[in-house]
Structure 1
Amino acid sequence: MRELFEGALKFQEDDYSKYKDLYESLKKHQEPHTLFITCVDSRVVPSIITNALPGDLFVVRNMGNIIPPYRENDNMMRAGYLATTASIEYALNILEIKNIIICGHSNCGACSAAYASEEKLQNAPYVKKWIELLDPVKKKVKALCPSTKAKELWLTEQINIEHQLENLMTYPFVEERFDRGEINIYGWYYIIETGEIFNYNMITREFKPINKEKKQ
């Protein structure tokens, strides 16, 4: 914890002054341009991998960057998946955000846990319940018959992004804005060890690297 306290002091003494005017402008309101939905993994830092400034991103994080499929309010409340849904609703209906990015990543613990045994998850009942939302992803991966565990995880991570994009489109207020061309939606796959980010093309259903030559 000492490092975090020292980091807080460094921020106040050095880093804050660099963006003092920006922070003061954000005192009473926020106008983020992008809803960034990603994993809680400590190795994924949205502001760093996007080079974003304070106030740019409205970030939603959960295990596995999962978006529960839309349901009517009473059913959703019983399911216990309100936090992510409420954040998406707030971002679009209150903040009127124009871009949505769903960002998955390599070596994802949630995607790996989806294949864990009952015994391994016996002390993590809430984790077990949450990753049941990955069952449709697992089914798609199993149908591809991956030859190794490494390939199975790699496919799961990427198909999970595709699946969460599909889940996102089940939200009426998302679909309506997208159909009217009022929002842009992207799926990203971040490789931790190389820093590469691959963007998902929803027409060709392929992940292509983001680079200077061809920004997508």
Structure 2
Amino acid sequence: MQKLIQGIHRFRTEDFRPLQGLFEQLAKGQNPETLFITCSDSRIDPNLLTRSRPGDLFILRNAGNIVPSHGAASGGEAATIEFAVAGLGVRDIIICGHSHCGAMKGLLQPETVAALPAVTSWLSHAETTRRIVRDNYGHLEGERLVTATVEENVLVQLENLRTLPAVASRLVRGDLHLHGWVYKIETGEVFAYDTSSGQFVPLTQYQYQPSEAAARRRTSGAI
């Protein structure tokens, strides 16, 4: 805790003052362009990863970057997404998974989270991911299997995202775009789902096609 308190003092004296004008503007309201949905994992820092400033990202975090489909849960995810899309008018939504995800490991090995009933219940919203992996990735094991699960989960959660009324409406209008990313912790690389190839490719090679935003193709393979 002392480390955090010291950090707040340094923020006020070293970081806040050069950006005071920005924060004064942000005090009047927010206008983020992107909703960033990612895992609660402490190793993920969306602002650091994207080099974005306060006010740029509207961030939703939970275990496994999961988006329950419409009507499947009464938690805060749907409300947060609705506010971002219909209230703030974000133009892009990114679902970002990451390597070595503990939630995905728990999904693959439910016995490891059996003593955590709330976690077990939450992971049920990724049951489609588990079945896709079970039925299509029997040739993988270890970290390769976890990576494939992370990737497939991003795609499943994008599909769930499309079931939310506010998102579906904006997609029909064509002024909202969805993106699937996977962050590799150990290298700092980010991979984006490319609909034309059905693969996750390095973000530096990613050619986004807005007309294909609702498409979902997947060929076997892992980062």
TM-score by length of 2: 0.88
Instruction: Name the residue aligned to 1:136.
Output: 128
SS in 2 for 1:114: helix
Who is 2:145 aligned against?
152
Cα deviation 1:98-117 (Å, max 9, x = unaligned): 11000000000100011234
One-letter amino acid of the structure 1 residue matched with residue 48 of structure 2: I
| 2:113 partner SS | coil
Counterpart CA distance in 1 for 2:179 and 2:206 is 15
Name the aligned partner's letter for residue 190 of structure 1. Answer: Y
Hey, what's the Cα distance between the residues in 2 that align with 1:123 and 1:28? 45
Alignment partner, residue 215 of structure 2: none
Partner-residue secondary structure (3-state), 1:20: helix
2:118 maps to 1:126:
yes
Query: How far apart are 1:205 and its partner, in Å?
Result: 2.1
How do 1:97-116 and structure 2 match up within 5 A?
97-116=90-109
Contact 2:95–2:158 (8 Å) recurs in 1: yes
**TM-fit CA distance, 1:214:** 5.5
Q: Does 1:60 align with 2:52?
A: no
In the TM superposition, what is the alpha-carbon distance from 1:97 to its structure 2 partner?
Answer: 0.9
How far 1:91 sits from its partner (Å)?
Answer: 0.4
Runs of 4+ aligned residues of structure 1 deviating over 4 Å after TM superposition are 213-216
For 1:153, the aligned partner's letter is V
Secondary structure of 2:186's counterpart equals coil
C-alpha separation in 1, matches of 2:174 and 2:87: 18
Amino acid at match of 1:7: G
Counterpart of 2:190 in structure 1 is: 197
Give, in whole Å, the separation in 1 of the partners of 2:148 and 2:197.
17
Q: Which amino acid aligns with 2:22?
A: L
Query: Which residue identity lines up with residue 108 of structure 2 in the other structure?
Result: Y
Q: Quote the offset at 1:215 in angstroms.
A: 6.0
Q: For residues 132-183 of structure 1, what are the alpha-carbon distances to aligned partners after superposition, in whole Å with 9 as ceiling and x for unaligned?
A: 1121111111112133122221110000001011111111221221232111
| Structure 1: gaps of 5 or more residues | none
User: TM-score, structure 1 length as denominator?
Assistant: 0.91
Report if the CA contact (8 A) 2:65-2:97 is conserved: yes
Deviates more, 1:139-148 or 1:3-12: 139-148
| Count of residue pairs brought into register by the alignment | 207
State the 1:124 CA deviation. 1.1
Query: In the alignment, what sits opposite 1:174?
Result: 167
Deviation at 1:202, TM superposition (A): 2.9
Give the aligned CA root-mean-square deviation in angstroms: 1.5
**Residues 112 and 92 of structure 1, relative CA distance in 2, 3 Å threshold:** same
